Structure 1
């Protein structure tokens, strides 16, 4: 029996690579090697330009940038693109900000590829939450402040219908991804579910990059802070006493340095 040419043709491999929080020095060695050797990179809009500058001159870059109001490509189309290129024999690097398996929809992309018979490798990256908080010197856990950490997507469907009680409060830290556009709803939701209006909040914008900002406010003032400071993505919101504790520690260190 003669084999079908489509069955014998070489299929490419898809690498789901985490680009980390921004600084190229925070890439894993594996991620850096794959990026520098890639012939085709499909990347998110939040991947820092300094990381894209690492690719070889002949590499093909395809942006599938997403924003709240505009999607260059729907997720279903991104999945189809990865499958199509791999079936054509191309190895594809799918480069995603942070870690591909933490609010990166990497699981959906991996599933689509596997269903098409395409090999997938996942290269973890430092998640945006961990990278942002560490670069801002905010410990997500602390013996005196928090032993539980929760990650939440601020743009998830049914935001107002979910019960967020218990996610934040004494002994807990809440980290919110993609929460800039819904800051007002997030603040109202948490207060309605029992969190104190004066709970400490830190907003970390452009974490690990030269233009990083760490902004602080009480929970009730989160929306005003985001609006007045014109906070833009990428940004992470950290809620809990660790945010205030870290601020006090940094100020104390700064005073000691001056004395």
Structure 2
């Protein structure tokens, strides 16, 4: 049985009391099977429902039709075993970097009830993650003292500190310059190899999707449907040099072609 499974999922925005013209079918007949530890990416035109799929998997919204299951259980409420990272790092400006990373441990059980007892253990875990993303020695710095790319590294650490089984990434590098973004591809690849949680990445950057993912799913324009699933059979660890190889370039062009087809549907 897949670790995460979406079965013929529709999501309609708007209430049942509204007429059909006032409702929006955001996702239609979405069916996905995701294995534990898999790294997949979702691409497609703007407004096609990519971020909505993340909300469905995390339990932040419930499907209008169909079912979402995680680890064999139907998702009926927000999951505690999920880490999330977004386009903006949203670090709390009054907390240093280490304390920002440790924030989920103050919220999520069983860590919350043991945070005073395990404070030193949690600090050590935060420092291990910070070192893993190249931020060793920056735990006592404030967010404003870090560049945008460094803040995004800290955000990834915060998303992973409570050892989630699922990491949901909603365009986490979209606001960064090209060079910083490409550096963070390697950082995220290393983090996934280190933790091996299930990662679902939403992105508009097709090179990013092919660089990072094992499978890339292409969605159509709204209402979002899964049009194509491409297995990325490129050896790891992948490097920037890999992105110039003919097989890599062909995969990117194929994804772009299907996104174009999806806009016409």
Structure 1 and Structure 2 fold alike (TM over 0.5): no
Q: Which TM-score applies when normalising by structure 1?
A: 0.31
Q: Which has the larger radius of gyration?
A: 1
The higher relative CO (CA closer than 8 Å, separation ≥ 6) is in 2
